[in-house]
Amino acid sequence: MEQDKEKVGEENVDRTQDSLNFNEVLHLLSKKAVLGRGIPEKYNIPPWRLPDTQPHREEINSLLQHSMMAQAAQIPKSGDFEDFVLSNASLAVSGLLRHYLSVLGVSADIVFGVLLWDESARSGADDYEGTPHVWLSIAGLPVDNNHVAFPTSADNAEYFFECKKLNAYAAEDPLKTKLKLFLGLEDDEDSKEVVRHNLRVLQTFSQPAHILKYLAVSLKHAELNPGVKMYHLLMQDWVKTRWGKAAPNIEEELKTCTDCKVARYCNRDCQKQEWRVHKLLHKEIEHTKDILDKNANETEEHDEEIVF
C-alpha cells in the first residue's frame, strides 16, 4: 500500500512538471535537493576558509561551506542533478558568492589568474606549470570555492583539497603570462577556438563592471546550463533564511537587448559602447547550444548502434 502511494505521488509530480516551464521545474526540484559533501573541518585556512582574524569570518565561512555543499548536492530522479548540481564553474560561483557577500557589506574581488600546480604533481621541468582559474580575493586572501565532481569510485577526492595551497594562486593574466599553462587535451582547431573563447569570457566577465551581465545571461538561459540556476536557487534560500535578507535581484530595470532579451542598458549610446563586451555573451550562448546539440546527436547515434 505504501509503495502504491509513493508511486502515485511520483506520477502526480511528473504531471505537475509537464505543465510547468523550465524555471518552474527547477524551483520544484530545488526543494528535493540533498546537500553534498562540504569542506572538511581540517581545512580551516585559505583558500578554503578565512582565518579567525578576518571580520565576518563566521558568516563568510558558513557561506563557503553551504556553497560547496550546494554545488555537490544531488537530486534523486532528476536526470541532470543526480550526481551533482554544479562542477568546475569557477566564474559563476565566484560571481554569485561576491553577490551574496554584498548582503553582509563585505567586498570581494574576482581574480582571473593562474592556479599553480604542485611541484610533486609535475613530471619534470618541461611539464605544465599551472592552469587558468578564477577565484575570489577577500581582504587580499585567495578564496577558492570551486567544486569539482569526481566519480564515486575515485580515490583522489581528498587530494582535491590537499593540492590547493595559499601560495598556489598567482594573480597574473593567463593570456599574458610566460608560464606554461595547461589549456586542454584536444589539438583540433575547433577545440582550440573554444578554449580561446572560454579564456576571453573569463578575462572579460571576471571584471567588476561585467560580472553581473554574465550572471544575468546564465540565469536567464537556464536551459543551457541549469546547474548555475539550481545553485543560485539553493543559495538564495539559504542566504535569506540565515541572514534574514535576500540578495539583490541581479537583473536591473534598464534597456533590454533585443536579441538575447537579457542584457540591460541605461540608453542606446550605452548599448553601443557595450556591444563589444556583450557580443561575447551571444557567442557563449551559441557555443553552449552547439555543444548541447553535438552531445544530443552523439547520444542518438549511440542509441541507434545498440538497437538490435
What confidence tens digit (pLDDT) does each residue in 160-188 have?
888 899 899 999 999 999 999 998 866 77
pTM of structure: 0.81
Per-position DSSP letters for 99-164, written without gaps between them: HHHGGGT---EEEEEEEEPPGGG-SSTTS--EEEEEEEEETTEEE--------TT-S-HHHHHHS-
Whether pLDDT at 303 is above 50: no
Average pLDDT over residues 213-221: 87
Whether pLDDT at 298 is above 70: no
Which cell is 220 given? 536567464
pLDDT at 4: 47
pLDDT band at 54 (very low <50, low <70, confident <90, very high): very high
In angstroms, the CA 289 to CA 141 distance is 36
Whether pLDDT at 272 is above 90: no
Residue 84 is classified by DSSP as -
Least confident of 174-178, 230-234, 260-264: 260-264
Q: Are 59 and 104 in contact (CB under 8 A)?
A: yes
